[in-house]
């Protein structure tokens, strides 16, 4: 992994991001033949799965695991923690396992 990431770090200082420039990160894939479509074809996930679904799931699971909603808000770039809670705070905690589904 270190070798693969070395190319991303080339010409950058420790303060620079490895991916993107702070404004543009990984580009949105083409909807017909982009990297995400190819990845879905090579897996058993539903064709309806979107990158936004993955983003929302990651945020929801982070909140369920105890992440601060303000931190998740910053990560997602939402205008308010209330927006983050509405969009991603749909995971319920369950005594014993910490997760009992989305709802």
Who wins on pLDDT, 41 or 12? Answer: 41
Q: How far apart are CA 59 and CA 85, in angstroms?
A: 9
Q: Mean pLDDT over all residues of the chain? A: 75
What pLDDT does 63 receive? 87
Average pLDDT of span 70-80: 88
* pLDDT for the residue 21: 64
Rounded to 5 degrees, what angle do the CA atoms 40, 46, 51 make? 60
pTM of the model: 0.55
pLDDT > 50? residue 61 = yes
- The model's confidence at residue 93, banded by pLDDT at 50, 70 and 90, is very low
Strands annotated E in 11-92: none
Angle at 78 between CA 73 and CA 80, to 5 degrees: 75
CA dihedral sign, ordered 85, 90, 94, 97: negative
């Amino acid at each position: 992994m270190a070798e693969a990431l070395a190319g991303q770090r080339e010409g950058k200082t420790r303060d620079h991001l490895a991916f993107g420039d702070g404004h543009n990160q990984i580009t949105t894939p083409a909807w017909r033949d982009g990297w995400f479509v190819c990845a879905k074809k090579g897996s058993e996930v539903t064709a309806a799965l979107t990158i936004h679904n993955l983003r929302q799931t990651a945020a929801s699971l982070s909140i369920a695991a105890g992440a601060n909603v303000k931190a998740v808000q910053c990560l997602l770039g939402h205008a308010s923690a209330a927006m983050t809670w509405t969009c991603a705070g749909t995971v319920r905690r369950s005594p014993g396992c910490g997760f009992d589904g989305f709802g």
